[in-house]
Amino acid sequence: MVMRRVDLRSDTVTKPTEAMRAAMASAEVDDDVLNYDPTALRLETEMAKITGKEAALFVPSGTMGNLICVLVHCDIRGSEVILGNNCHIHIYENGGISTIGGVHPRTVKNNEDGTMDIEMIKAAIRDPCLEICYPVTRLICLENSHANSGGRCLSVEYTDRVGEVAKEYGLRLHIDGARIFNAAAALGVPVHRLVQAADSVSVCLSKGLGAPAGTVIVGSKSFIAKAKVLRKTLGGAMRQVGVLCAAGLVALQENVVKLEGDHKKAKLLAEGLNKIKGLKVDIASVETNIVYFDILEGSNSAPKLCKTLEEHGILLMPDSSSRIRVVIHHQISANDVQFTLSCIQVYILFNLSILNHLV
C-alpha cells in the first residue's frame, strides 16, 4: 500500500486549501448570468486591477477563455491569427478557434525560449492588397510563461515589441497568461506591466495559483461586453458562480507569494536530476515551475520510469518515449523533491546494474 503521494503531473492537480473550502462554503452569491453575483464581481474587479485592464470576466476554463478572446478579436469568419507552432492554443485546445470560430491559424516557429522571431511575425502578416486570395490577419497570440518551452518567460521588452508590431499593422494582441503570475514572479515584474501591450489576457486560477477551477479574461470594457455574450453562447455562463470565485480570491491573496518558492524547488529538482547518470536537464531553461528531463538510454524508458514511480506514490507525466515533464506546485515540499530524486536515483541505478550484468 502506498503511504505517500507526490503528484508532479501538473500544477492543475492541487487540492483546494482549507481557506479555499471555508471561503467557498461561506461565499456570498447571486445570479452571475444577470451580473449580480457579488463574489464574482469582486474577483473580476481584483483581476482587472492586478492586470491593469478596464474589466474582467470569470469563465469556466482556460480553453474557453482563450477561445472567447480569439473570437472577440476575430469576429469575422475566415480571419487569421498568428501564433506559435508549439503554443497551447494551437496544440492543446481541440482546434476550437477553427471548428467553432472559423478562425484560421497561421503558425510561426517558436524558439526554444517560447518567443517567435519578430521578423517572422511580420512576414506572416497577410498583405491586405491580396485579400481576394488571403485570409485577413487580425490577431497575434503569445503565451507567457510558455509551457512547452519548459515554462520559459517572455520579457517585457519582447512583449512590448510584439505589441508595437500589432499596432503598426492594425492588429490586436492576446496573451495566453495561464501562468502569467509565474512569469511575473520569475522576472520580478508586476503583472500589469508584463501585459501592458496586450489587448486581452487569459489568466488561469487553477494552475500555479492552486484554485480548483476557472480562468479570468481581461481587456477593455467593450471587449468584456462582447466576451460576456460569447461566454453565454458557449455555455460558460453559470448562476451562483461565486462559490468558485471565492476560491480564486483566496488564491490571489495567499498563493501568489508561494510561486517564487515553487520556482526554487523546480531548480533544486532540475539540478538534482542533472547529477543522476543517464539523465539530462537543460538547467538554464528552468525559469519557473516546469522541468523537462531526458532519459539518455533505454527503449520506451519514460513510460517505464513513470509506471515504476507511480507504484511508490510519485506521479509524473511522460512527454515522449524518453522525455518526462515535471511540474512543481505549492503543495509540493522540498522534502517531496528530495524523495522523488532518491526514488529516481534508485530506479536508474537498478536498471544500469541489470544492463551491466547483461553486458
Residue range 211-253, pLDDT digits in tens: 999 999 999 999 999 999 999 999 999 999 999 999 999 999 9
Compute the CA torsion angle 259, 260, 263, 267 (nearest 10 deg).
-160
N- to C-terminal Cα distance for the chain? 35
Q: Alpha helices, DSSP H only, in the chain?
A: 18-26, 38-51, 62-73, 88-92, 96-99, 118-124, 156-168, 180-187, 191-194, 221-233, 242-254, 259-274, 301-310, 334-358
The x, y and z cell numbers of residue 264, run together, are 526554487
Question: All 3 cell numbers of residue 267?
Answer: 531548480
* pLDDT at residue 348 in the model: 85
The cell for 90 is 494551437
Confidence (pTM): 0.96
Q: Which three cell numbers stand for residue 254?
A: 495567499
Contact yes or no for 153/191 (Cβ under 8 A): no
**Residue whose grid cell is 536537464:** 281
Measuring CA to CA, which residue among 193, 206, 97, 115 is closest to residue 154? Answer: 115
d(CA 281, CA 279) in angstroms, rounded, equals: 7
Distance CA 258, CA 211 (A): 13
The low-confidence residues of the chain, meaning pLDDT below 70, are 1-2, 352-359
- Helix or strand run (H / E) with residue 295: strand 290-295
- Cα–Cα distances (Å) from 206 to 62, 100, 140, 248, in that order, read 9, 24, 25, 8
CA distance 273 to 281: 7
163 sits in the region (left: phi over 0; alpha: psi -120 to 50; else beta) called alpha
**Side chain identity, residue 8:** L
From the list 323, 306, 325, 324, the residue with the least C-alpha distance to 315 is: 306
pLDDT score at 355: 37
pLDDT of residue 356: 43
Q: Which residues contact 256 (CB under 8 A, 6 or more apart)?
A: 181, 185, 209
**Beta carbons within 8 Å of 307's beta carbon, 6+ residues apart:** none
